[in-house]
């Protein structure tokens, strides 16, 4: 199809892995939602820069100046990628988790936070730990319209004062797209602000802060083909500037002096540096900027067309297998990115995923995907504490909240989807060649 772009070159596409049944095979990475492989372009850019690596904002030498320039240019590239408004700030963090915890740390006194129970733990949990914020947990909606209506009702009944809504753009479990623009409009109608968890959205769709009219966006480099330890929080400057620094340390301060009384007086920066104490991770930031440029240049139209073609094949293949149940909140036909979770009747999900790896060289993820309340909703029943995220928690055939997640992206060749579907069919028909057991929280042959 002329409209589809070719898979973008990624590292690791020729990695060979041993099979428990003998021989070896090229690894099929179908766990992009956890961490995507590095784009070749990102790796090339990083490799070309590393010899010139130097400290950022902390040196007079040429390489320090170069690194400082690249760091600040990277910030501008990310701002452009996200369609930031003129007065938005881009803070480099470690990850989405770090970005959302940073935002939680700068909430004005008495902020009321509204969050759906279906969020990833990184978006669900930071708020209650933050100062005196109060949190309203909204029940899982069963349609996008219900999500907007339920937020509307909750905000309508809320007392005056600062409010923040936190929503995901695309679910890390079902891949389903959330009605971000409509949720943002609802938030703003009631004077609330909104932060978008774009960890799963940004790798698959253009995210435009101004067009979506969200106040902040958070995402992770390692899910955006830039696995060098950097995340982003971008958006409104005021709450960031008015709050205490997230981390205390060098780089966040303007002046530090002893007071007459023998203490320490600190004047913190009022710019973005306020929340970037410590030596910045310039390689990580540069890699994120490189990934942003690469995705822009490849063009989201072609990337999305290709993703949807692979997703259609995947959905059709799974729909033809009666034992497979695809998980969804908004209905099986709902709009999704290339992320999909399912269970197989009669199978423990951890064992199934272990067999896909050991017998077919296919890397998926099983577990609860750091979204335990959502998995409970999708399982349709409240159950006992399922234990650690990702840990196998039931014997084969036993009822379990665990599911299997298959996820892909810009580097995925069609062959990986074909191999996956054929492996699922064969496993269900013939059973696993080996038996699997839990060892140190992992399923092994």
The residues facing 196 across adjacent strands are 167, 217
CB of 280 to ligand PMP, least distance (A): 18
Q: Which stretch binds ligand PMP (CB under 6 A): 192-200, 320-328, 330-338, 389-397?
A: 192-200
Site membership for ligand PMP, residue 91 (CB under 6 A): no
Regarding 96 and contact with ligand PMP (CB under 6 A), the answer is yes
Catalytic residue, candidates 84, 166, 370, 443: 370
The number of residues making up the chain comes to 445
Q: Which of 45, 89, 176, 197 is close enough to bind ligand PMP by CB under 6 A?
A: 197
- Could you tell me which stretch among 117-125, 175-183, 288-296, 302-310 binds ligand PMP (CB under 6 A)? 117-125
Confirm whether 370 is a catalytic residue.
Answer: yes
Q: How many CB atoms lie within 10 A of CB 247?
A: 14
In this complex, which beta carbon is closest to ligand PMP, that of residue 121 or of residue 190? 121
Tell which residue, 180, 224, 317, has the closest CA to residue 8: 224
Nearest to 33 by CA among 281, 202, 228, 207: 202
Name the token pair of 59.
């040196």
Query: Could you say which of 67, 68, 74, 95 contacts ligand PMP (CB under 6 A)?
Result: 95
Helices (H), ranges, 93-216:
96-105, 121-124, 144-156, 180-189, 209-212
Residue with smaller CB distance to ligand PMP, 100 or 423: 100
Report the alpha-carbon distance of residue 76 to residue 111 in Å, rounded.
30
Residues 125-184 that bind ligand PMP (CB under 6 A): 168, 172
Total site size for ligand PMP, rule CB under 6 A: 13
Query: By C-beta, is 232 or 355 nearer to ligand PMP?
Result: 232
What single-letter DSSP state applies at residue 250?
A: T
By C-beta, is 111 or 220 nearer to ligand PMP? 220
- Round to whole Å and give the CA distance between 414 and 313: 9
Residue 228: CB minimum distance to ligand PMP, A = 12
Is there a contact between 187 and 194 (Cβ–Cβ < 8 Å)?
yes
Q: Which stretch binds ligand PMP (CB under 6 A): 7-15, 195-203, 379-387, 393-401?
A: 195-203
Q: Which stretch binds ligand PMP (CB under 6 A): 17-25, 93-101, 158-166, 307-315?
A: 93-101
Between CA 382 and CA 401 the distance in angstroms is 10
* Torsions phi, psi for 357 (to 5 deg): -75, -55
Q: Which is nearer to ligand PMP, 154 or 370 (CB)?
A: 370
Q: Counting contacts by CB under 6 A, is residue 123 touching ligand PMP? A: yes
If one asks whether residue 359 binds ligand PMP (CB under 6 A), the answer comes out as: no
| 199 binds ligand PMP per the rule CB under 6 A | yes
If the CB atoms of residues 172 and 412 are measured against ligand PMP, the closer one turns out to be 172
**Cβ contact 141:174 at 8 Å:** no
Q: Which stretch in 19-27, 119-127, 143-151, 386-394 sits in contact with ligand PMP by CB under 6 A? A: 119-127
Measured CA to CA, the distance from residue 225 to residue 203 in angstroms comes to: 8
Question: Residue 370 Cβ, how far from ligand PMP at the closest point, in Å?
Answer: 6
User: Coil, strand, or helix at residue 292?
Assistant: helix
Strands 28-29 and 216-220: unpaired
How is 10-66 classified by DSSP, letter by letter? BTTTT-EEE-TTSSEEE-EE-BTTT-PPPBHHHHHHHHHHGGG---SSS--SHHHHH
Minimum CB separation of residue 98 from ligand PMP in Å reads: 6
Does 122 bind ligand PMP (CB under 6 A)? Our answer is yes
Query: CB of 167 within 8 A of CB of 178?
Result: yes
Catalytic residue list: 370
Which residues make up the interface to ligand PMP (CB under 6 A)? 95-97, 120, 122-123, 168, 172, 197, 199-200, 220, 370
């Amino acid at each position: 199809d002329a409209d589809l772009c070719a898979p973008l070159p990624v590292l690791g596409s020729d990695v060979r892995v041993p099979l428990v049944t003998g021989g070896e095979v090229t690894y099929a990475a179908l766990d992009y939602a956890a961490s995507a492989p590095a784009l070749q372009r990102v790796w090339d850019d990083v490799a070309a820069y590393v010899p010139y690596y130097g400290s950022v904002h902390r040196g007079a030498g040429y390489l320090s100046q170069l690194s400082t320039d690249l760091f600040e240019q990277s910030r501008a590239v990310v701002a452009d990628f996200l369609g930031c408004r003129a007065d938005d700030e881009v803070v480099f963090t470690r990850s989405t988790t770090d970005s959302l915890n940073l935002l939680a740390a700068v909430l004005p006194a008495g902020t009321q936070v509204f969050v759906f129970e279906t969020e990833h733990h990184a978006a669900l949990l930071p708020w209650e730990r933050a100062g005196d914020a109060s949190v309203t947990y909204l029940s899982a909606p069963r349609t996008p319209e219900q999500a907007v209506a339920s937020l509307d009702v909750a905000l309508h009944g809320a007392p005056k004062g600062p409010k923040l809504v936190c929503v995901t753009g695309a679910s890390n479990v079902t891949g389903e797209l959330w009605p971000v623009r409509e949720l943002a409009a609802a938030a703003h109608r009631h004077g609330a602000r909104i932060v978008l968890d774009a960890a799963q959205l940004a790798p698959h769709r253009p995210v435009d802060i101004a067009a979506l009219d969200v106040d902040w966006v958070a995402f992770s480099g390692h899910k955006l083909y830039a696995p060098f330890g950097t995340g982003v929080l971008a958006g409104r400057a005021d709450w960031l500037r008015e709050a205490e620094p997230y981390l205390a340390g060098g780089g966040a301060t303007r002046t530090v002096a002893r007071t007459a009384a023998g203490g320490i007086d600190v004047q913190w920066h009022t710019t973005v540096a306020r929340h970037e104490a410590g030596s910045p991770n310039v390689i990580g930031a540069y890699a994120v900027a490189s990934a942003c440029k690469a995705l822009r240049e490849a063009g989201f139209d072609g990337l999305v067309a290709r993703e949807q073609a692979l997703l259609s094949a995947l959905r059709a293949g799974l729909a033809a297998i009666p034992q497979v149940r695809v998980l969804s909140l908004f209905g099986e036909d709902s709009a999704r990115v290339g992320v999909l979770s399912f269970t197989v009747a009669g199978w423990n999900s951890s064992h199934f995923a272990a067999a896909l790896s050991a017998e077919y060289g296919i890397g998926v993820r099983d577990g609860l995907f750091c979204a335990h309340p959502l998995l409970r909703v999708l399982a349709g029943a409240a159950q006992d504490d399922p234990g650690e995220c990702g840990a196998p928690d039931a014997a084969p055939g036993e009822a379990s909240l665990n599911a299997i997640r298959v996820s892909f992206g810009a580097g995925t060749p069609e062959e990986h989807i074909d191999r996956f579907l054929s492996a699922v069919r064969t496993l269900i028909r013939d059973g696993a060649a080996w038996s699997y057991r839990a060892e140190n929280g992992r399923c092994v042959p």
